[in-house]
Chains A and B, each alone.
Chain A
Amino acid sequence: MPAAAQTWAIVDPKRVPTERYFSTELAMLEKDRLWTRTWQFACRLDEIPRPGDFTEYEIADQSILIVRVDDSTVKAYFNACRHRATALGEGAGTFYGGQIVCPYHGWRWNLEGKSTYVYARQGFTPACLDPELLRLRECRVGILFGLVFVNMNPDATPLEIEFAEIAETLAPIGFDRMSVRWWRSIKLPANWKMAQEAFLEAYHVMQAHPSLSMGAADDDYDLDAMSAGFETFAGGHSHALPAPGMDSPVKGMSFNDYFLQFNNALYVGTDAYTTAREMFVQQGLIERDIAEGELPLAFFGALYEYAQGAGIPLPPPATNTAGFAHVFPNLTFLPAYGNSIAYRVRPDANDPESCIFEVWALQIPGTEEEGEAERPTCERLDDIDQWPQIFAEDFRNIVRQQKGVRTHGLDDLIMSEKYEAMIVNSHATVDEYLSGNR
């Protein structure tokens, strides 16, 4: 059935039907046609560092075990005993002794998914013990930037091809050198797409984040100074292009001042985009008399000098992207200075108006910070007020949007093809999957 025949389908890219954010029918279609066919970030490699380590990836109503088999192999199995469906692992842990063991009747598999033991096998007919029947069912696995991606579709385009353009854009950022500073999640009463879209545009900064617009009202905050637009790729991936020049977006404020205050606000407001490391570097510059417009260059000079001394393998600054980038369908990055915020959003089981939103604060560590790293774990923080200010400001607007899309008389949302191009591209790609064209 063509997507266009549906009331939720995008007909005009500038108008997004509100139904897309609460329709149960659409959520069911996404479950059947989107989540089953797209490459999704399932876990970081450092969550499963050693053979036997596993973590559970849940998406819609599916549970998949991501298992470290050996130094170079990761497998993904649908999380069900072949006997009577018992989930074989929950959360994260280790399959010790290289055996995946069903806690119900003791059936076992090795880390390669092959059946190794059936208790009292004389009670089953030979056909029921066929090794191929007993083998754990697998998903495809792809690894990029130290991240494990899975795809339930055995015929999916390989990850390297599907992500080719966005991976090339993001490669200079150095994600594979980063480790987790913190990782938190929140359940938001909103459709997963609604939650995600708060992080696919910077148009909201002027009003939603006064700390970032430095109090500049209305057109005194020049959005066009922030980015030269967006590059959108087939497959729904996209990223923001670098700013055209070095002009302060805040009218009447020098670029030096703006740069310093922007970093300060993001330190206080996210504890992720900028960290104590950059604040330390920046503090050393404040006392120096730096010519107007020269501060960013001085900052990067000081940052790389500091990094060299601390053994922090910072890659050269990326020149091709302003930072925020979207890896379709549900992963978004906001990198800077060898750090990055990463966002992943998933529908909350079958509820189209609830989602699980995760945030990672990532950073390239120095050599002195290395050692036996613990497996990162996610802290659930459902109280919006407990989050750093800028995240809280975004979350509150997401909740309000979800309230608004239900109101009578609002049939669709209005999109700017200039400022909200990443959102437009993402919706168009969702429809390609739902209509079977991908």
Chain B
Amino acid sequence: MTARVRVEPAGVEFGVNPGDTVFRAAAEAGFTWPTVCFGGARCTACALTVLSGHNRINPPGRDEQIVLAQLAARRRRTTLRDVRLACRMTVSGDVVVEKKGVKPVEVDNG
């Protein structure tokens, strides 16, 4: 079943199929999502904050955990509450997240 993800502050929404990441779903729905590595779990530019639906988010895998720990360390913290990588996060139901810079694709870059 397709879950819905709402992204603040833009207020945009799109569907995410089971097993797909939020980043992939956003791209396929025609949104740009900040990134440098395009889904490689390396650049941290896609990191989002979960606002609601915490119990409908699947736990991070090993590669995401490592990158999240590095991200926290840069901010001199041991963990960052509710922060996840859009390029790795999958969901089991509707969620609301915060990510600045998410917007519809403006120009055809092809």
The verdict on A101 contacting B38 (CB below 8 Å), with A94-B24, A96-B24, A372-B19 known, is yes
Within 8 Å of chain B (Cβ to Cβ): is A181? no
Main secondary structure on B side of the interface with A: loop
Assess the B110–A116 pair: CB atoms within 8 A.
yes
Give residues 84-108 of B contacting A (CB, 8 Å): 87
Contacts of B28 in A (CB 8 A): 51
Kindly state whether residue A106 has any CB partner on chain B within 8 Å. yes
Residues on B with C-beta less than 8 A from A98 are: 27, 110
- Size of B's binding interface in residues, CB under 8 A: 19
Which B residue's beta carbon lies closest to that of A116?
A: B109
Residues of B within 8 A of A103 (CB): 37, 40, 42
**Roughly how many angstroms separate A51 CA and B21 CA in the complex, as a whole number?**
14
Q: Are A97 and B109 in contact (CB under 8 A)?
A: no
What is the bound-complex CA distance between A99 and B23, given in angstroms?
Answer: 13
Question: Which residue of chain B lies nearest to A95 when distances are taken between CB atoms in the complex?
Answer: B38
Q: Inside 8 A of B19's CB, which chain A residues have their CB?
A: 372
A101 and B37 form a contact (CB under 8 A): yes
B22 CB to nearest A CB, Å? 11
- Residues 3 to 53 of chain B near chain A (Cβ within 8 Å): 18-19, 21, 23-24, 27-28, 32-33, 35-40, 42
Per the bound structure, the CA–CA distance linking A192 and B21 in Å amounts to 40
Find chain A residues with CB under 8 A from B109 CB.
Answer: 110, 116-117
- Range class of the A interface residue count: 10 to 19
Looking at the complex, which one of B18, B23, B36, B42 makes contact with A96 (CB distance below 8 Å)? B23
Contact of B33 among A52, A94, A97, A372 (CB under 8 A): A97
Instruction: Report the nearest B residue to A119, measured CB to CB.
Output: B36
Interface of A is mostly: mixed
Name the residue among B33, B37, B38, B39 with the largest chain A CB count within 10 angstroms: B38
Q: Is the CB of A96 within 8 A of B39?
A: yes
Whether A96 pairs with B110 at a CB distance below 8 angstroms is: no
Which residues of B have CB within 8 Å of A110? Answer: 109-110
Digit string of A241-274 for contact with B (CB within 8 Å is 1, else 0)?
0000000000000000000000000000000000
Contact with A along B55-91 (1 / 0, CB 8 A): 0000000000000000000000000000000010000
**Min distance, Cβ A268 to any Cβ of chain B, angstroms:** 36
| A97 with B110: CB separation less than 8 A | no
**Is B110 in contact with A112, judged by CB distance below 8 angstroms?**
yes
Residue of A95, A103, A117, A372 ringed by the most chain B CB atoms within 10 A: A103
What are the residues of chain A within 8 A of B33 when measuring CB–CB? Answer: 97
Looking at the assembled complex, report how far the CB atom of A99 sits from the nearest CB atom of chain B, in whole angstroms.
5
Q: Is the CB of B110 within 8 A of A114?
A: yes
Within 8 A of B (CB), among A83-118: 94-99, 101, 103, 106, 108, 110, 112, 114, 116-117
> Does the CB pair B27–A97 fall under 8 Å?
yes
Contact partners of A95 in chain B: CB under 8 A = 38-39
Chain A residues whose C-beta falls within 8 Å of the C-beta of B39 in the assembled complex: 94-97
Instruction: Mark contacts of A295-321 with chain B using CB atoms, 8 A cut-off: 1 yes-contact digit, 0 otherwise.
Output: 000000000000000000000000000
Q: Smallest CB-CB separation from A111: which chain B residue?
A: B110
Query: B109: nearest residue on chain A (CB-CB)?
Result: A116
Contacts of A372 in B (CB 8 A): 18-19
User: Which 3 pairs, one residue from A and one from B, show the smallest C-beta to C-beta distance?
Assistant: A96-B39, A97-B27, A110-B110
CB pairs A–B below 8 angstroms (9 shown) = A94-B39, A96-B24, A97-B38, A98-B110, A101-B40, A110-B109, A114-B110, A117-B109, A372-B18
* A contact residues vs B (CB 8 Å cutoff): 51-52, 94-99, 101, 103, 106, 108, 110, 112, 114, 116-117, 372
In addition to A97-B39, A116-B110, 7 A-B residue pairs with Cβ atoms within 8 Å of each other are A96-B24, A97-B23, A99-B38, A101-B36, A101-B37, A106-B36, A116-B109
